Structure 1
Amino acid sequence: MARLIVAGGGGGDAVAAAVIDRALYGADDPAVVLTYAWDRLLVDPLPGPRGADGFTGLRALTESVYAVPAEAAPVAPGGSTLPRLAGELAHTFALIDPHHGVEGMIRQLEELIEHLAPTSVDLLDVGGDILARGDEPTLRSPLGDALSLAVCAQVSAPVRLLVAGPGLDGELPVEVLRERLGAVVRTLSAEDVAPIGAVMEWHPSEATGMLMATARGVRGLCEVRDAGLAIPLTDAGPVVHEADLEAAFRRNRLAQAIGATTSLAEAERHSRAICGYSEIDYEREKAAGLRDAAPFDPDAVLRQLARFAAEARARGVTHTTFRHLTEVLGLDGGHRTALRELLLGAHPERYAAPLWRL
């Protein structure tokens, strides 16, 4: 029987959806995962999400929903992790395209529900920023989750809201999230996340990487993002909760404001009015400021890493992500694999999969 999981923020949420689907239901008959193609600039140099016209080789599922198979490819110069993800996992990854706003996304989701007749529809968010009001100063990426929340709250089918790893996205404090979370659905174990280990060797998601690490028992303080945000790795990290979807929608000012939008640009205008910014604007500014990265010099990288590690340890930091290291060391996304191989070769004992122990 078909199941459908909406990856609320795309990217790492799609990976987490595959993990949680397998943990809850087993490896047989994997769910369809509906997700954005919205990768960070280390992967995709173009700001914002890719639509269906941003790929070649998609497979039509309905009139307006396409699966992203392994043979699909992003149209240059765009990038996407979805084709490789489809090649390594048994799940079907369907593309949700927000360029026609929430109304267009509702149409896509309802078409897919009619096509699949799923036994369940879950909306998944890693970290919990989907439970925000939408205007908190600590939020960094509210738009994608608000779009997904607005869609799932209005679609003509029951949807269960799941939050994995509360606080791991660094957007809302765990103390705030705690009162908004419901029953525990699953506490992920090392066995649960083992099948995804190979994916996390290359996938850049930081929140899902920390979700996997905490399921393996990693504890400490992890520094992430270009801004160097410190995220506690605690026993709450691998826990998956249910939450009240209707209450989340009523609380989220941004989700309510964009509920009848017909374009992504319109949703962005609401985000600027309510949050003071659009995360796509941030991506545009960052993309415009990107410079050519320095050549990959292993000796220079190791020297820089030693300085960074000493400074981070002085701040109480115990772990970091390879994505953060790539940015701290001034490397581009194409150097991430080389950096990982260099560090694993030099200090294999510091690898706390998929994080790096300082």
Structure 2
Amino acid sequence: MTRLIVAAGGGGDAVAAAMLAAALYGDDRAVVFTYAWDRLLIDPLPGPRGVVDFTGTERLTSAVWAVPATARPIAPAGSTLPRLAAELPHTFALIDPNHGAEGVTCQLEELVGHLQPESVDLLDVGGDILARGDEPTLKSPLADALALAACCQVNAPVRLLVAGPGLDGELSSEDLRGTLGPVIHTFTAQDTDRISPVLEWHPSEATGMLAATARGARGICEVRDAGLPVPLTDDGPTVHQADMDDALSRNKLARAIMATASLDEVEALSREICGYSEIDYERNKAAWLTDQPAGKLDPETLLPRLDQFEAEARQRGVTHTTFRHLTETLNLHGSQRQHLRELLINSRPQQYDAPLWRITTSEPE
């Protein structure tokens, strides 16, 4: 039996798909259909990567290629997919969005025909796939809408699953109330065992918080460059089923892009419907980052700045943060995130609430 899981939002959802496969199906092998879209922390180029951006891919069908452990992104592009393929037992098939929703639908049709899977799940961590498109907190609707548009057109039954409602910092659990169906699973600490080594290096904040809540973390976590506060609650480790037809009827962007034949068309409709394209945001930020000098990883300088950040965070009621947020807060480059993480864990191991950083309730002595 083959299970096919479509990771709606990119690299983090692909990691969550690995946890889902083991938890729901007890089978370490699945095909994860996912974007190569790791944002600017890993990939200095804006937007998702296509098959032309890799060497060493393996053809699965005429339109679908797998990214194995031996594949490599073509410089200067970056991607977590080869390392995921090396550390997890799944096949990672590449969603190539360059031909719009029509192209992704064709890829998915071919993949379903080739695999004849026992089940097809569309997985979104956080739940912004259920957005209308005009919510002021919505930041990254494009990938989810494109995956939803394709899955609604494929000639196969697809189950829509939302893990960790509200954990992506875009729609809150209150926003999602009434749109979610029954809880089909609640992740446990044991469920995170398979992906724990991956979360030691993977930059996904939402999937990191999903695993942290499964391990019992509760409180408020600040994420992203803007420091959005995300509640870590008992809802965090839950997986809900949602209705595909209802999701499509709510998601204006998904409905609008169903007949698109290029990523440019998808972006244009995102600007029209949502008021922006998240790839434009990445383009602007990438241009800004090229002019910013990388800070120094000097403990004598960084630790006092960390103390100041934590003191201010405590006043805001914050209990946790991500290493991505710390990297940006301390004015470091995304490429320095892993080195910062190692420095802080070695300096203050008691504050590592894997894979998050715990804000202590009092000033360090």
What TM-score do the two structures reach when normalised by structure 2?
0.97
Partner of 2:252: 253
Partner of 2:72: 73
Question: What is the correspondence of 1:1-358 to structure 2 with a 5 Å cutoff?
Answer: 1-28=1-28, 30-290=29-289, 291-358=292-359
Partner of 2:362: none
Take 1:90 and 1:216, find their aligned partners in 2: how far apart are those partners? 23
Identity of paired residues, percent? 69
Take 1:292 and 1:76, find their aligned partners in 2: how far apart are those partners? 21
Instruction: In structure 2, list runs of 5 or more residues that go unmatched.
Output: 360-365
Amino acid at match of 1:92: T
Take 2:53 and 2:19, find their aligned partners in 1: how far apart are those partners? 27
Q: For this pair of structures, how many residues does the alignment match? A: 357
How far did 1:173 drift?
A: 1.8
How far did 1:26 drift?
A: 1.1
Take 2:210 and 2:336, find their aligned partners in 1: how far apart are those partners? 24
Amino acid at match of 2:279: I
Runs of 4+ in 1 over 2 A off after TM superposition: none
How far did 1:292 drift?
A: 2.7
Amino acid at match of 1:201: E
Take 2:299 and 2:350, find their aligned partners in 1: how far apart are those partners? 19
Amino acid at match of 1:214: T
Partner of 2:363: none
Take 1:181 and 1:315, find their aligned partners in 2: how far apart are those partners? 30
**SS of 1:105 mapped into structure 2:** helix
What TM-score do the two structures reach when normalised by structure 1?
0.99
How far did 1:36 drift?
A: 0.2
**SS of 1:214 mapped into structure 2:** helix
Amino acid at match of 1:61: L
How far did 1:195 drift?
A: 1.6
How far did 1:107 drift?
A: 0.5
Take 2:182 and 2:44, find their aligned partners in 1: how far apart are those partners? 39
How far did 1:27 drift?
A: 3.5
**SS of 1:208 mapped into structure 2:** helix
Take 2:150 and 2:286, find their aligned partners in 1: how far apart are those partners? 29
How far did 1:64 drift?
A: 1.0
Take 1:173 and 1:126, find their aligned partners in 2: how far apart are those partners? 12
Deviation string for 1:72-120 (max 9, x for gaps)? 1111001001000100000110000001000000000001001100010
How far did 1:330 drift?
A: 1.2
Take 1:69 and 1:333, find their aligned partners in 2: how far apart are those partners? 25
Using the TM superposition, name which of 75-84 and 298-307 deviates more. Answer: 298-307
How far did 1:295 drift?
A: 2.5
Deviation string for 1:142-198 (max 9, x for gaps)? 000000000001111110000000000111121121210001110000000112111
**SS of 1:282 mapped into structure 2:** helix
Amino acid at match of 2:38: D
Take 1:24 and 1:244, find their aligned partners in 2: how far apart are those partners? 19
Q: CA RMSD in A?
A: 0.8
**SS of 1:294 mapped into structure 2:** coil
Take 1:334 and 1:105, find their aligned partners in 2: how far apart are those partners? 31
Take 1:250 and 1:210, find their aligned partners in 2: how far apart are those partners? 29
Take 2:175 and 2:168, find their aligned partners in 1: how far apart are those partners? 14
Amino acid at match of 2:255: Q
Deviation string for 1:19-67 (max 9, x for gaps)? 0110011144x11000000011010000000000010110010111110
How far did 1:344 drift?
A: 1.0
Amino acid at match of 2:150: V
How far did 1:298 drift?
A: 2.0
**SS of 1:124 mapped into structure 2:** strand
**SS of 1:288 mapped into structure 2:** helix
Take 1:174 and 1:297, find their aligned partners in 2: how far apart are those partners? 39
Amino acid at match of 1:295: K
**SS of 1:195 mapped into structure 2:** coil
**SS of 2:234 mapped into structure 1:** coil
Take 1:23 and 1:236, find their aligned partners in 2: how far apart are those partners? 17
